[in-house]
Structure 1
Amino acid sequence: MKGGTIPICFYMILTSSIGSLMATNKSLYFGYGSNLLERRMHRSNPNAVRYGKGVLKDYTLDMGTYGNFWKGCGANIVQSPGDKVWGALWQLKDEDFVNLDRQESVHKNVYKRIIVQIETPEGQKLNAIAYQNVKQFERFDLTNLPTERRPSPAYMDVIIKGAQETGLPIDYINFLKTISTNGIDHVPNLDPEK
């Protein structure tokens, strides 16, 4: 066996599952915030198809930029060795990512696209697009966030319902329930955009 054989075979195993996606101009998206919930995801992205669930290792969940839609801060992912973030995998046509870019305010330099490796419960490793805040924020314990960094109760309710709908582990859902909120009573319209 030559030295180059193992890496090539390993690469083929990792990428074979997304080969069909590439052939159809589709990509995977990793949603870890409000886009866990199908109703929220379909508001701006009606063609998105739930692909499954997975975990992003060596990252942690954080709250970042304030958004008027939710009247509170939105979720963010930050590199953090040993930690993990669970989320939903969605399959989207490549041209539909413009809708996600708009939803995540890429044009306003709030979020940026990054490529992350997600591991499914079956151990499959897949590359997916995720969104991360452009701005770096000071890290705080999510159970005791400063008021200006807290999400709204409605936002956390959507995340928790989405986590349940996605079938995320119960210990992760229980963790989400401990995140402090800003107490602002606001329920955004999640009906499909026209």
Structure 2
Amino acid sequence: MSASSSTSSTDSKDTFLYFAFGSNLNSKRIHVNNPSAKRKGVGLLKNYRLDFNRYSERWKGSVATVVPDQDEEVWGALWEIDVKDMDNLDRQEGVERNIYRVFHPTIHVELNETAFHSETDSSFNNKTSSDNETEPAFNNETSSHSETESSFNNETPPISVNTVTARCYELIAVDPPGSDKRPSVTYLDVVIKGALESKLPEKYVHKLRRIEKKDEGINEEMEDEGEEQEGSTDIMKGSISF
């Protein structure tokens, strides 16, 4: 595997890079508000962990964020988005309402031939445990980078490994200690589908499947309703995607 130690934002004046780790892993979700988004590869955010720290009425459960943690890492999708969509993305993440804040971490990204233009891969097959399995703490089984790298997109030879600077979002409006931090079954399903679509490492998808979740959620049949109404349960519409 060839590697490059250079660091680059790879942004042009017309586009920027965005690292997604929650529902925006899912191409259907991100394209609602950011139609210009193009998948560029799979990224790894080191020294952070995935967590769920704020209840969302829309999702009926807690939503994802990243939290500094020297012993952990978060896999996600790297998207290239037109600058004209940046305000849409900020609005979606509730930046103006001080729900999430923007930061620009270094992302380790492995680029491959299919990552530039592939939006879905319905044939992606990974063997995981039943969705009924749960673990109380998401980060109990975190593997090292070397362990997960072997399962990363084995079918396509990598072009290069780089570090890039990307736009990312972390929660600043979090629920108090002791709150129910479990995501809803619907939210977690959207995240897992996006992880499969993004071809995140099998071990990481396995961990996502084992996150303890709330049984309540949004009816999947509401997914494609076009009209947004107060209290709508359309999971692919509206602001705050997380």
Could you say if the C-alpha distance between residues 191 and 148 of structure 1 is closer, same or farther in structure 2, counting changes exceeding 3 Å? closer
Alignment of 1:146-165 (within 5 A): 148-165=180-197
- How many Å separate the matches in 2 of 1:61 and 1:93? 26
Listed as ranges, the gaps of 5+ residues in structure 1 are 1-9, 140-145
Aligned to 2:69: 80
Could you say if the C-alpha distance between residues 136 and 109 of structure 1 is closer, same or farther in structure 2, counting changes exceeding 3 Å? same
Could you say if the C-alpha distance between residues 60 and 138 of structure 1 is closer, same or farther in structure 2, counting changes exceeding 3 Å? farther
Aligned to 1:14: 7
Opposite residue 163 of structure 1, the aligned amino acid is A
So what's the TM-score if we normalise by structure 1?
0.81
CA offset at residue 123 of structure 1?
Answer: 2.4
Correspondent of 2:100 among 92, 111, 116? 111
Aligned to 2:167: 129
What is the SS of the residue equivalent to 1:78? Answer: strand
CA offset at residue 148 of structure 1?
Answer: 2.1
- How many Å separate the matches in 1 of 2:214 and 2:235? 20
So what's the TM-score if we normalise by structure 2?
0.66
Aligned to 2:58: 69
Aligned to 1:54: 43
Opposite residue 46 of structure 1, the aligned amino acid is P
Q: Sequence identity of aligned pairs in percent? A: 36
Between Structure 1 and Structure 2, the one with more helix by share is 1
| Dislocated runs of 4+, deviation >6 Å | none
Opposite residue 7 of structure 2, the aligned amino acid is L
What is the SS of the residue equivalent to 1:182? Answer: coil
Structure with greater contact order relative to length (CA < 8 Å, sep ≥ 6): 2
Aligned to 1:41: 30
Could you say if the C-alpha distance between residues 191 and 177 of structure 1 is closer, same or farther in structure 2, counting changes exceeding 3 Å? closer
Comparing 36-45 with 146-155, which one deviates more in the overlay?
A: 146-155
CA offset at residue 25 of structure 1?
Answer: 2.1
- How many Å separate the matches in 2 of 1:177 and 1:74? 15
- How many Å separate the matches in 2 of 1:174 and 1:184? 21
CA offset at residue 191 of structure 1?
Answer: 5.0
Spell out, residue by residue over 1:24-78, the C-alpha distance to the aligned partner (whole angstroms, 9 max, x if none): 4211000000000100111111111111111000000000111122111110000
What is the SS of the residue equivalent to 1:149? Answer: coil
Aligned to 1:185: 217
Listed as ranges, the gaps of 5+ residues in structure 2 are 111-159, 220-232
